[in-house]
Amino acid sequence: MKPSPTALVVGGTGPTGPHLITGLLERGYEVEILHRGVHEPPELPEVRHIHADPHFRETLDAAIGGRTWDVVLATYGRLRTVAQAFAGKCGQFIGVGGVPVYRGFFEPEAARPYGMRLLAREDGALADAYEPVAPFAAKMVAAEREVFRLGAAGAYAATMVRYSQIYGPRNIVPWEWAVMKRIADGRRRMILPDAGLWIVTRCAARNAAEVLLCAVGNPAAAGEAFNVADDDQQTTRQWAESIAVLLGAELEFVGVPSELAPSAMGELLSPTARPHVLVDASRAKRLLGYREVVTAADALAETVAWLTEHPVTAEDYPTYNARFDYAMEDRLLAAWDRARDLVRRQAPDTPVDMAHPMPHPRVPSLEADARGR
């Protein structure tokens, strides 16, 4: 009898981990996970755990020993170090990175035109295509390049998956909580930077996991990078309003320039995500046959329901940076209301006369209409 293929998930306890483990088991793989052992979610399927720190080569080497796997999915740790540690130890290596590798995510003012390309594609310019290069972005790009270098050298078949803003139960950043807690606390107004018109590509954890699973054992994935994204995307305001609707609440969203509301930026968006982070995720569909397994609407509802049952605490999310400083917010809202009134009084403006550019004759005519069109 042919033995089952083997898979190792480095990480596996975050938002995508349980879906990866379940998907691999359903595909007939013998699955193990390697992680530090700090988090042991009860929802994880029963698989063997290897406890080691994937940030350091010496701890990885000690844990791996002479073992090999058919596929390694590296979702956690220092990617460059993990990629090197598994060289020659697996047939396929799938690394997880992120959209900060793209030119303009960090240091947007150094890119021309400003910021990240809209609908950034996997073959687009990366962060090291211009100077200065943000240190974090440089490390992410270097890690990706090392994965592909080792793949080209025959260490394994190499694939990269670039995560956008992941959301779902157990997500490392509970983005939705910024809206949910204000509703629970009885707030009636909420600040949205730049009127909430920012677009940051989001991807439900279940959909991100499905992209990786579609790459497993797929020859078309070798040497390729793939973006992940839900089929449906929203502006920040649409996303916030959707959360309020799910909770049956009414909130007045007040647009304040992001320069005046840095704490709101940090709660809702990456402060470096200027002006938009919007990626094209069609390559996974085209090359891997990927199809999303949950709609954005259903995934958001699932996330809100989970956070309702598991309120955010400092113990569970030690780096969560939301302040919920309502006194400060009220001062800012009041000052912004006064500033708008002052500008309207001192520099009143009126809408321009809008007319359709095409002619609208009132009677049949071969001449210009009443507006000269």
Tokens standing for residue 63: 């844990």
Q: How far apart (Å, rounded) are the C-alpha atoms in residues 86 and 67?
A: 10
Beta bridge partners of 158: 93
Beta bridge partners of 162: 97, 227
Query: In the structure, what pLDDT confidence band is assigned to residue 356 with cuts at 50, 70 and 90?
Result: confident
The H-assigned helical ranges of 9-104 are 17-26, 57-64, 79-85
List the chain domain ranges: 6-346
pLDDT (0 to 100) of residue 250: 94
For the CA atoms of 356, 361, 365, 369, the dihedral, rounded to the nearest 10 degrees, stands at -60
Q: Is the pLDDT higher at 270 or at 319?
A: 319
CATH architecture of 6-346: 3-Layer(aba) Sandwich (3.40)
Residues 287-340: tens digit of each pLDDT? 999 999 999 999 999 999 999 999 999 988 998 989 999 999 999 999 999 999
Give the end-to-end CA distance of the chain in Å, rounded to a whole number.
80
Residues 223-252: tens digit of each pLDDT? 999 999 999 999 999 999 999 999 999 999
Residues 65-104: tens digit of each pLDDT? 999 999 999 999 999 999 999 999 999 999 999 999 999 9
Q: How far apart (Å, rounded) are the C-alpha atoms in residues 291 and 209?
A: 11
Contact 99, 108 (CB under 8 A): no
Contact 95, 143 (CB under 8 A): yes
Contact 122, 284 (CB under 8 A): no
* Residue 270 confidence (pLDDT) above 80: no
Contact 32, 8 (CB under 8 A): yes
pTM exceeding 0.85: yes
Q: How far apart (Å, rounded) are the C-alpha atoms in residues 29 and 23?
A: 9
* Residue 273 confidence (pLDDT) above 80: no
Question: For 148-166, what is the mean pLDDT?
Answer: 98
Phi, psi values for residue 277, rounded to 5°: -125, 95
Q: Could you check whether the bond before residue 275 is cis, i.e. omega within 30 degrees of 0? A: yes
Tokens standing for residue 174: 């509970």
Q: How far apart (Å, rounded) are the C-alpha atoms in residues 59 and 81?
A: 11
